[in-house]
Chain A
């Protein structure tokens, strides 16, 4: 296994197989790796589909701990140098599966992590869901969110081919721009791993003094 400079994880909360949300995650991942390459950094990207862990995510909410497979996913995500998060827009916002996964993350586990937002939907009229619900969610988690977020409506997949510009650029152009923004953040950020709760626990003298 070769060592690379950066590791990107692209999360997809898409439910169908194949899923346009996963396709978007893949493309954003590849765009980011390509842009990191342009910056002189080698990088890998892996796409993780939450669908495969849906039952484990609900179980973790009920029991307070994740299965080994889910804990491995959480570890991959929270130790990545940059994360791409993608979800279908359901009933005005991110899917329940997407939010459930975010809910089981430690609230400090994504602090300062570069994050790129992506979403899919049937019509571009849902595109602001990225701005009014996805972005505040990751701002709350104190992640470092890229300015450009990418919404892919059904028609974007068609327009991509004929190069039509819908105002913000074609899906291809927006994907490249978002990948560039994430790459620039990731180039400046190396994940140093999770905070060790035992190493940071106060000594008893400190507790008595407080």
Chain B
């Protein structure tokens, strides 16, 4: 099972000092955080993609391309890549380039984006979010799997004899996740293609997460990619830790109270009871996240949000040390012990996908969809 971190890349004033980093400092902090996560032994670093302040990560492949050069083992990913407002042709090119540069040490997660004004800035309409996600992703797959593409659809200019370059590494496209919080349609899309499904549950009760994951698992099996418990599932999470539980609560409370999204709303105690947010000792985090599999089944990737709400860089790096040093080894051991042999430990690596493609065996994310993809005729 993989454990990592994902960043929204928000620029937020530290409520305890009143200090606000500028965009440059925040971008550089993200790079430091990713490198530190790699050195500490976490499995995944994922960056969000946003095109509106107060968020800085507008250009994920530039960031991840640099990180590919300065990190060693960590899988570089996105949370999420906007499949709605990005041109699928550019996505095919940029992520194939990242795949080559990182030597396959990457994957990506598709998302729609939920900020209405961003869509028209890129010539799109949020009311078409689902149809855009469906058509654009179908084209993206073709651009990766077919050398020459003739295509016509509803949302971009037609393509005649187009070849996306570079061609995917070893002829095998990157593994793709689909992230959605509320839309069964996206769980359906992930299941149809045998791709991964990520539920970013950080602001949601686990009962909702369970429903979405269960739907994806059932549909994954329906489309013939394997058994429901073999579907590739990822979850979000949010933690703040100190050795002593009460120290964590005291230190994090001002950040919680002022945080974007939930600040000035429910109490930290209510929010930790209702969502996966865990503020306390490493053991409390282990207890909470070790139980997630009881709700969603054995899953393959757990990402934690640890660098938002104005937390200083030094604190974030300490959180990574606690995660990698005390929490993840225990969670990984527990997950491995509990996992049945036929359930994949993690999402397929590039090497595994290449091996599956050459041997012709069906595998998540490489299997052909149940029906031919005809979007865009």
Contact = CB atoms under 8 A, between A and B. Distances in A.
A201 B371 CA distance: 18
Given A59-B265, A208-B134, A210-B131, A203 B188 contact: yes
Interface string A189-210: 0000000011001111101101
Contacts of B188: 201-204, 207
B374 A67 contact: no
Interface of B: 130-131, 134, 138, 184-185, 188-189, 191-192, 203-205, 208, 211, 215, 223, 261-262, 264-266, 270-271, 274, 371, 373-375
Interface string A31-73: 0000000000000000000000000001100111101100000
A59 B266 contact: yes
A65 B139 CA distance: 35
Could you say which of B184, B204, B211 has the most chain A C-beta atoms within 10 Å of its C-beta? B184
A63 B265 contact: yes
A9 B215 CA distance: 32
B179 to A, nearest CB: 16
B192 A62 contact: no
Given A59-B270, A67-B274, A204 B265 contact: no
A109 to B, nearest CB: 15
A197 to B, nearest CB: 6
Given A62-B264, A198-B184, A201-B184, A208 B374 contact: yes
A59 B261 CA distance: 11
Contacts of A67: 266, 270, 274
Contact of A65 (B189, B192, B203): B203
Given A207-B189, A208-B134, A63 B203 contact: yes
Is chain B's interface secondary structure helix, strand, loop, or mixed overall?
helix
Contacts of A203: 188
A203 B375 CA distance: 14
Given A198-B184, A205-B371, A68 B274 contact: yes
A203 B191 CA distance: 10
Interface residues of A, number: 18
B274 A65 contact: yes
A63 B262 contact: yes
Contacts of B270: 59, 67
Contacts of B371: 205
Nearest to A68: B274
A62 B205 contact: no
Nearest to B266: A59
B184 A65 contact: no
- In order of increasing CB-CB distance, the 7 nearest A-B pairs are A201-B184, A62-B265, A204-B192, A59-B266, A198-B215, A59-B265, A207-B134
27 contacts: A58-B265, A59-B270, A62-B264, A63-B261, A63-B265, A63-B266, A63-B271, A64-B203, A64-B204, A65-B203, A65-B205, A65-B208, A65-B274, A67-B266, A197-B184, A198-B211, A201-B185, A202-B185, A202-B188, A204-B188, A204-B189, A207-B131, A207-B134, A207-B185, A207-B189, A208-B138, A208-B375
Interface string A91-124: 0000000000000000000000000000000000
Nearest to A210: B131
A62 B266 CA distance: 8
Contacts of A210: 131
Given A63-B262, A198-B215, A202-B188, 19 more contacts: A59-B265, A62-B264, A63-B203, A63-B266, A63-B271, A65-B204, A65-B274, A67-B274, A68-B274, A198-B184, A203-B188, A204-B134, A205-B371, A207-B130, A207-B131, A207-B134, A208-B134, A208-B373, A208-B375
